[in-house]
């Protein structure tokens, strides 16, 4: 039997080793990697300052408050700042106690929802910022993660970025978000459960094993530095999905060292620049996938996951819960690694 995609027809179903989820790879339905390049011909130029944007300097009256900020070496200009989300999904001034409604279970909408403004300039983006600016952003992620875990009611902290309208970004000014919750969603519990089951069976971390295999196989690796490797996973759920995984086993994002934070910023900046150049600035979401509040258990391993918005889920995927990826990870990785491909 020929390898999937050799003739552009064969499909294959692959399993995500960490979650046991299956993904259908259907290259006959797909495009060549460069056909995923986005079209932005209609976009108007973005100004460096917008008088109506609440995140631009001088518009602080539009913000509830400034929680924390990082300034340049002179102290004259902020480089990144944390502010409350003006329209939060969750709020901190309510109880975390669950209650019954008949046979159903509910709880107040407890949590903390914040925005990390990534630059004072309205027209910037992570892919085109300076490495130093991205380094400041990673430091803000780390410090805010530690700060929010000081509250024992916060059992999960999710750091994420929505880029582009199809990814859910409602404001153009470059920003990330942080949500802390008093409960743990099923998807994260399932990921933790599968990692624990793998560890209990084999005595090893499934993410460490996955990383070791990818670095040995090399077909899907797109970037590597002293502390991190980035690769398109074997069972990627969408074209160009990419994981940035710490080489040193770390169960929780709080364990990252200063040197590793510098390497993470370089890896993230380089990878987003690749996507920006090769796919013409696609919409995407990224999340720092780290576990719920734990005692640094040996089966857990955090990583940063980037998911470009290049395809749309349809009926079978919604009904079955399985993903259909029209692009093979090996082809996507080769495209990102080819300096001549555009």
Give the CA count within 13 Å in the CB-facing half-sphere of 168.
Answer: 10
Q: What is the DSSP string of 16-65?
A: -TTT--EEEE-GGG---GGGG----TTPPPPPS--TT-TTSTT-GGGSS-
Residue 159's nearest CA partner among 286, 69, 40 is 286
Spacing of C-alpha 162 from chain mean position:
9
Instruction: Give the integer Cα–Cα distance in Å for 236 and 240.
Output: 8
Q: For 265-269, which contacts have Cβ atoms below 8 Å and span 24 or more sequence positions?
A: 265/131, 265/134, 265/135, 265/137, 265/138, 266/131, 266/134, 266/225, 267/223, 267/225, 267/228, 267/230, 268/126, 268/134, 268/138, 268/244, 268/304, 269/126, 269/127, 269/129, 269/131, 269/134
Token representation of residue 192:
């933790």
Query: Which member of 122, 175, 269, 301 is catalytic?
Result: 175
Total count of residues recorded for the chain = 342
Orientation angle between helical segments 186-202 and 206-217, nearest 10 degrees: 80
Q: Contact, 122 vs 47, CB < 8 A?
A: yes
Beta bridge mates, 180: 112, 157
Could you confirm whether 49 is annotated as catalytic?
A: no
Q: d(Cα 259, Cα 256) in Å, to the nearest integer?
A: 8
The residue among 162, 146, 156 whose CA lies nearest residue 188 is 156
Question: Are 195 and 18 within 8 A, CB to CB?
Answer: yes
Catalytic residues: 175
């Amino acid at each position: 039997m020929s390898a999937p995609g050799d003739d552009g027809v064969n499909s294959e179903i692959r399993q995500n080793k960490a979650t046991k989820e299956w993904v259908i790879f259907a290259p006959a339905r797909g495009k060549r990697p460069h056909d995923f390049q986005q079209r932005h011909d209609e976009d108007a130029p973005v100004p460096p300052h917008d008088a109506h944007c609440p995140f631009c300097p001088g518009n602080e009256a539009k913000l509830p408050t400034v929680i924390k900020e990082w300034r340049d070496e002179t102290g004259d200009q902020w480089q990144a700042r944390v502010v409350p989300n003006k329209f939060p999904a969750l709020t901190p001034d309510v109880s975390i106690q669950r209650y019954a409604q008949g046979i159903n279970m509910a709880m107040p909408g407890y949590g903390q929802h914040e925005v990390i403004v990534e630059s004072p300039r309205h027209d910037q983006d992570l892919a085109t910022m300076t490495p130093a600016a991205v380094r400041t952003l990673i430091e803000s992620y780390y410090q805010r993660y530690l700060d929010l875990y000081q509250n024992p009611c916060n059992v999960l902290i999710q750091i994420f970025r929505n880029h582009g309208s199809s990814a859910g970004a409602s404001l153009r000014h470059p920003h990330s978000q942080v949500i802390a919750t008093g409960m743990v969603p099923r998807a994260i519990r399932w990921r933790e459960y599968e990692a624990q089951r793998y560890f209990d069976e084999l005595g090893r971390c499934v993410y460490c094993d996955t990383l070791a295999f990818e670095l040995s196989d090399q077909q899907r690796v797109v970037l590597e530095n002293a502390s991190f490797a980035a690769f398109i996973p074997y069972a990627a759920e969408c074209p160009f999905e990419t994981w940035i995984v710490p080489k040193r086993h770390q169960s929780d994002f709080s364990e990252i060292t200063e040197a590793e934070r510098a390497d993470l910023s370089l890896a993230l900046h380089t990878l987003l620049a690749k996507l920006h150049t090769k796919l013409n600035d696609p919409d995407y979401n990224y999340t720092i996938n780290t576990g719920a509040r734990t005692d640094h258990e040996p089966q857990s391993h955090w990583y940063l996951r980037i998911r470009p918005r290049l395809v749309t889920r349809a009926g079978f995927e919604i009904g079955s819960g399985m993903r259909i990826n029209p692009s093979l990870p090996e082809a996507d990785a080769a495209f990102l690694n080819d300096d001549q491909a555009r």
